[in-house]
Chain A
């Protein structure tokens, strides 16, 4: 028993050591200039020499300005240096107050009109965002970065290796980062934050829906031309009709399952390819065409048998 405990402790010790090493390695992987910023912005605390009091001082970092360096190194913008997007004057501390006023880049500033990124349809996405409920309410204050964390962004929906579950979770996390976080929500508005559980209490099996479909499934219109719809509709226009998803013409086919359903999609057959869409089961939308045929043959046979029997009974009675 004691031996076991020792083994476990040794194992845990090495786990902690290796984790620490990985974290340090990630920090070390950052470019020199990024490491300079990460010295403060990569941690919860930062220290500096206070020239007024002439003392070393340690302060808490504003949680909104902490950059997860591990996530940064995994994100699509990992090769960028902080100065590529932020003013180089940030190099010194204390940062100059007017730096706060510098306008932030939007995705289009870099990705707009670029053939390399044409398949992402950034321009179409911008039009959709411009017509979304968020943009209408908050104007220029609402940019891409409100939902997409540029410091850690990595494509999930457009990654062929992603499971539907991962797509759903990553996507919903974007909405929840404000709608389930009062302090971030209040950056944009003083409105009372709607309680998601009570505003969705009409939805049967709420938890199941939240886990397996994205918010945008009901809160954006179906578009064929764009991969991920960005036009968030006002709540009155969200999908409320169960059969919009739970039917052969399920809107999910044009939305969530667009990513994997390309294989054997057929409008007449519904999700009969559901066997390949392993993770997805939607009542009313997944129907197995072979089972349908077998059941119809069985029922047809039974009805014919009964009809013949009834006919013989009538004939015999006469």
Chain B
């Protein structure tokens, strides 16, 4: 089969992705360190964690705006749109491919093209990560950075408490997403191929 090179990831997207990736990793470790820190085993000193977390949080938030504006100005945004109808079927097809078809050497049910950069699972999970998890983590993060903005009490439970809860749950889901995102990216004939393409911008099809 002839090797095609598709230019899927423009420069702005790669720069955003790279900065966002670094920020998310730092946010994850500093967040874990603050939440589960112990006097005897601090993963990262508390004060350092707070400063780093605040800094990376702001950078990632600015990055998120860049991503939204970029999607609006370019046609990158269409890759995150999906129809609910038939979603289950498409999910099933893709999951079956990862679970069995891939090992049998079957062709991809949703081959990558310029029009369809993501398979249905990616489309939905990326859309949820970027349009649900990220805004929630950013808004709750702004709330924690400026607690005076937060409603004092909601049904007798402290507003900061609830905001912190939302922030850490969203943070967890993003970390969970990252783990699966990183692994799924390695699925293919060459485990490193997808990692290379997000740096070079070119996707080599099989």
Residues of chain A whose beta carbon lies under 8 Å from any beta carbon of chain B: 204-205, 208, 241-244, 246-249, 274-275, 278-281, 283-284, 286-288, 291, 295, 298-299, 302-303, 306, 309, 312-313, 316
| Contact sample, A vs B, 24 pairs, CB 8 Å cutoff | A241-B39, A241-B46, A242-B45, A243-B37, A243-B38, A243-B39, A243-B45, A243-B46, A246-B46, A248-B38, A249-B39, A274-B161, A275-B157, A278-B153, A278-B157, A280-B158, A280-B161, A281-B158, A284-B35, A302-B176, A306-B180, A309-B183, A313-B103, A316-B103
> What total of chain B residues lie within 8 Å of the partner, measured CB to CB?
31
Cα distance A244–B40 when bound, in Å? 10
Q: Which 3 A-B pairs have the closest CB atoms?
A: A242-B46, A281-B161, A281-B160
Residue of B51, B147, B160, B179 near A302 (CB, 8 A) is: B179
Residue of B51, B157, B164, B176 near A283 (CB, 8 A) is: B164
Interface residues of B in 23-59 (CB under 8 A from A): 34-39, 42, 45-47, 50-51
B15 in the interface (beta carbon within 8 A) = no
Residues of chain B whose beta carbon lies under 8 Å from any beta carbon of chain A: 34-39, 42, 45-47, 50-51, 98, 103, 147, 153, 156-158, 160-161, 164-165, 168-169, 172, 176, 179-180, 183, 187
Nearest-neighbor residue (CB-CB) of A284 within chain B: B37
Quick one: given A278-B156, A288-B165, are A247 and B179 in contact (CB under 8 Å)? Answer: no
Cα distance A85–B32 when bound, in Å? 57
Q: What chain B residues lie within 8 Å of A274 (beta carbons)?
A: 161
Q: What chain B residues lie within 8 Å of A204 (beta carbons)?
A: 47, 50-51
Cα distance A281–B158 when bound, in Å? 8
Cα distance A208–B160 when bound, in Å? 11
Q: Are A246 and B179 in contact (CB under 8 A)?
A: no
Q: What chain A residues lie within 8 Å of B158 (beta carbons)?
A: 278-281
Residue of B37, B168, B169, B180 near A246 (CB, 8 A) is: B37
Nearest-neighbor residue (CB-CB) of B46 within chain A: A242
Nearest-neighbor residue (CB-CB) of A315 within chain B: B103
Q: Are B46 and A286 in contact (CB under 8 A)?
A: no
Q: What chain B residues lie within 8 Å of A248 (beta carbons)?
A: 38
Least Cβ–Cβ distance between B153 and chain A, in angstroms: 7
Cα distance A303–B38 when bound, in Å? 25
B interface majority secondary structure? helix
Q: What chain B residues lie within 8 Å of A316 (beta carbons)?
A: 103
Q: Are B42 and A243 in contact (CB under 8 A)?
A: yes
Cα distance A283–B164 when bound, in Å? 8
Q: Are A283 and B34 in contact (CB under 8 A)?
A: yes
Cα distance A279–B161 when bound, in Å? 8
Nearest-neighbor residue (CB-CB) of B159 within chain A: A281
Cα distance A302–B165 when bound, in Å? 22
Q: Are A312 and B39 in contact (CB under 8 A)?
A: no
Q: What chain B residues lie within 8 Å of A298 (beta carbons)?
A: 176
Q: Are B164 and A281 in contact (CB under 8 A)?
A: yes
Quick one: given A281-B161, A291-B169, are A306 and B38 in contact (CB under 8 Å)? Answer: no
Q: Are A286 and B164 in contact (CB under 8 A)?
A: yes
Least Cβ–Cβ distance between A187 and chain B, in angstroms: 35
Cα distance A288–B165 when bound, in Å? 9
Least Cβ–Cβ distance between B165 and chain A, in angstroms: 7
Cα distance A291–B160 when bound, in Å? 17
Q: What chain A residues lie within 8 Å of B183 (beta carbons)?
A: 306, 309
Cα distance A284–B38 when bound, in Å? 8
Q: What chain B residues lie within 8 Å of A302 (beta carbons)?
A: 176, 179-180
Cα distance A302–B47 when bound, in Å? 31
Least Cβ–Cβ distance between B59 and chain A, in angstroms: 18
Name, among A244, A246, A298, the residue most crowded by chain B CB atoms within 10 Å (CB to CB).
A246
Known contacts A204-B50, A249-B39, A299-B176, then 6 further A-B pairs from the complex at CB < 8 Å, ordered by chain A residue: A278-B157, A281-B161, A283-B164, A284-B35, A286-B164, A313-B103
Q: What chain A residues lie within 8 Å of B156 (beta carbons)?
A: 278
Q: What chain A residues lie within 8 Å of B147 (beta carbons)?
A: 205, 208
Residue of A242, A278, A279, A303 near B47 (CB, 8 A) is: A242
Nearest-neighbor residue (CB-CB) of A317 within chain B: B103
Cα distance A66–B19 when bound, in Å? 63
Least Cβ–Cβ distance between A221 and chain B, in angstroms: 16
Cα distance A281–B154 when bound, in Å? 14
Least Cβ–Cβ distance between A252 and chain B, in angstroms: 13
Q: What chain A residues lie within 8 Å of B157 (beta carbons)?
A: 275, 278
Q: What chain A residues lie within 8 Å of B36 (beta carbons)?
A: 284, 287
Q: What chain A residues lie within 8 Å of B39 (beta carbons)?
A: 241, 243-244, 247, 249
Least Cβ–Cβ distance between A239 and chain B, in angstroms: 11
Q: Are A286 and B34 in contact (CB under 8 A)?
A: no
